[in-house]
Amino acid sequence: MSKKRVFSGIRPTGEIHIGNYFGALRNWVEIQDSYDCIYGVVDYHAITTPFEAEKLPRLTFDTLAALLACGIDPQKSALMLQSDIKEHVELSWVLSCIAPLGQMERMTQFKDKSQQAPEYINLGLLAYPALMAADILIYRADAVPVGEDQVQHLELTRDLARKFNNAYGEYFPEPEPLLTHTPRIMGLDGKSKMSKTLDNHISLFEPADSLRQKIMTAVTDENRKRRSDPGNPDICNIYSLHKTVSKEEEIQMIDRECRTAGIGCVDCKKILYGHMEEFLCPFREKYQDLQKQPDTVYEIAQESRKICQPIAQETMTEVRNRMGLRKI
């Protein structure tokens, strides 16, 4: 039996951070043998929020390199650039004509991003989830590895697939989200989600000294004022980060010792730093290596385009035919 297909994308809007990795990319890497995977740097999504045209090519390249550095293997998976394959945008128009306006206006991310940049509320920002649905449905993907913040967009994707199928005959699968065991990583402030555009993230390629500094100054359980106070790991972001890189016995030890004031925040952070540095070090080296080989990176995207385009064209031909966009 042929493998099920996966699609997922990431926007080239800034440094890839450990929230991206532990919330989503870790799954991208792990499922490469069990699914037929297509991954994309979705640059058309990057222009829905404020961006600088001169900086976009560098961000796009860096995002491609980052995905390769953290383990996307071009021998196993396609790694494409969204703007190389025009059918994404074509299908997004079709889906925009199916998507109920009210449902689009209710999307949490639309509301959040409108608030973050009130001067930049454009039609594309509202239509963004339809483009995301198109990214997925153009490859008729069955599953989508994402962080928790994208689950609502996937529900919309399933709704749109169902609406299309009901109106024009069964064609699209209804894609399911694949979540990691840490689907929402908080920022260093412990209050908002870790984000590329907020100054609250740890880069996936953070140099050792600033990694140490960021961990040592990160917010913990704010009710724990003194070393002798017992802490509450359930509300401590450092404890949640331990769950990403520390071994199970150690996580249990920290939980126990924090609650009884057996371990202080400084020691807890030092342990986290040690594991995080060990985990990230190989990524950093591979990333620096890829920075010296732009041709190799672009060639991977070009080769992937050759794999993806025929699938996308086949989908669009079928969609156009079913919707009457054809000769009599």
Mark whether 193 is an active-site residue. yes
**Residue 193 CB neighbours (<10 A):** 17
Among the listed residues 86, 193, 214, 286, the single catalytic one is: 193
**How far is the C-alpha of 6 from the C-alpha of 76, rounded, in Å?**
12
Out of ligand TRP, ligand AMP, none, what residue 36 binds, judged by CB under 5 to 8 A for its kind, is none
146 binds ligand TRP (CB under 6 A): yes
Where do runs of H (alpha helix) occur along the chain? 18-20, 26-30, 43-46, 56-69, 87-96, 101-105, 108-116, 123-137, 151-168, 208-216, 237-245, 248-259, 265-291, 294-322
**How far is the C-alpha of 183 from the C-alpha of 180, rounded, in Å?**
5
User: Alpha-carbon torsion 112, 215, 60, 35, what sign?
Assistant: negative
Binders in 168-197 for ligand AMP, by CB under 6 A: 183-185, 193-194, 196
Q: Which is nearer to ligand TRP, 132 or 263 (CB)?
A: 132
Mark whether 247 is an active-site residue. no
**How far is the C-alpha of 204 from the C-alpha of 42, rounded, in Å?**
19
Structure tokens at 146: 């994402």
Q: Judged by CB under 6 A, which stretch of 117-125, 132-140, 237-245, 314-322 contacts ligand TRP?
A: 132-140
Instruction: State the binding string over 50-89 for ligand TRP (x if CB under 6 A, else -).
Output: ----------------------------------------
Out of ligand TRP, ligand AMP, none, what residue 193 binds, judged by CB under 5 to 8 A for its kind, is ligand AMP
Where on the chain is the footprint of ligand AMP (CB under 6 A)?
A: 10-11, 19-20, 23-24, 146-147, 149-150, 183-185, 193-194, 196
List, by residue number, the catalytic residues.
113, 193, 196
Enumerate binding residues for ligand TRP (CB under 6 A): 7-11, 42, 45, 132, 135-136, 144, 146, 150, 153
